[in-house]
Amino acid sequence: MLQTIAYNFVRCKHDAEDIVQETFAKWLTIDHQKIENTKAYLIKAVTNNCLTHLQSLRKKKEQYFDSINMGQLFAKFKETNLAHLDLDVNLQAAFKLLHTKLEPLERAVYVLKEGFDFDYEELQQTLNKKKEHCRQLLSRARKKMNEETRKLHFDMPDASHMLKSFRQACDFGQAADYIQAVKNDIQTALKKKF
């Protein structure tokens, strides 16, 4: 019964078994005379341990996403030949974070400036936006990227085409396909607004 309760909370058989075992280990060390209803006590203890476990997992997830430093990640991609490394997991997490926190135009400016060292003149020509607007977008994007990720929900449309063109741009040093994917992303977002 206790394993079923724990499993319904944590949705992992192994974790549920560990929680029940820890609960029983603690139960064996306490004074049983103070407990009026053993079954109710054990159910409550398992429930509390499950909630503590879930909270711990949530904190670990938040720490992982907070630890992603986009500037360092871009620098690593630029210095490394990505064709020989399997960085898909980190890159996918970074793109999820970018797609969750930033609007398409902010994303475009942020990635082109931070990832490919575009200057404001190049951003103006590429995105057809004034330099001052690009500066504002970059400032806003940096601020958003530094905000906490605790309340974010990582439901995003498939961005595999963006990820693929980004990797190719890093591997071969030519950002043309990525820039076109960015422009398409911006156009799609504008169409959805109107």
The domain ranges of the chain are 2-66, 68-193
The closest of 101, 117, 96 to 169, measured between CA atoms, is 117
Instruction: Measure the CA–CA gap between 67 and 149, rounded to whole angstroms.
Output: 10
pLDDT at position 55, please?
A: 92
- Which pLDDT value is given to residue 172? 65
Q: How would residue 155 be classed by pLDDT, with cut points 50, 70 and 90? A: very low
Q: Residue 24 pLDDT more than 80?
A: yes
Rounded to whole angstroms, the Cα distance separating 190 from 184 reads 10
Q: Is 109 exposed, middle or buried (0-12, 13-18, 19+ CB in 10 A)?
A: buried
Contact (CB, 8 A) for 170 and 114: no
Tokens 């942020």 belong to residue: 110
Question: Does position 39 have pLDDT exceeding 70, yes or no?
Answer: yes
Predicted confidence band at 165 (pLDDT cuts at 50, 70, 90)? confident
Nearest residue to 2 (alpha-carbon basis) of 35, 36, 47, 34: 47
pTM exceeding 0.85? no
Nearest-10 Cα torsion for 56, 60, 143, 133: -120
Of the segments 49-58, 60-69, 101-110, 160-169, which one has the largest average pLDDT value?
49-58
The answer to whether residue 43 scores a pLDDT higher than 90 is yes
Residues 11, 2 contacting (CB under 8 angstroms): no
Whole-angstrom distance, CA of residue 150 vs CA of residue 125:
36
Report the phi/psi class of residue 42: left, alpha or beta, with left for phi > 0 and alpha for psi in -120 to 50: alpha
Residues 165, 177: contact at Cβ < 8 Å?
Answer: yes
111 pLDDT tier (thresholds 50, 70, 90): confident
pLDDT at 104: 86
Task: Note the pLDDT of residue 171.
Answer: 66
**Angle at alpha carbon of residue 181, lines to 178 and 183, rounded to 5°:** 110
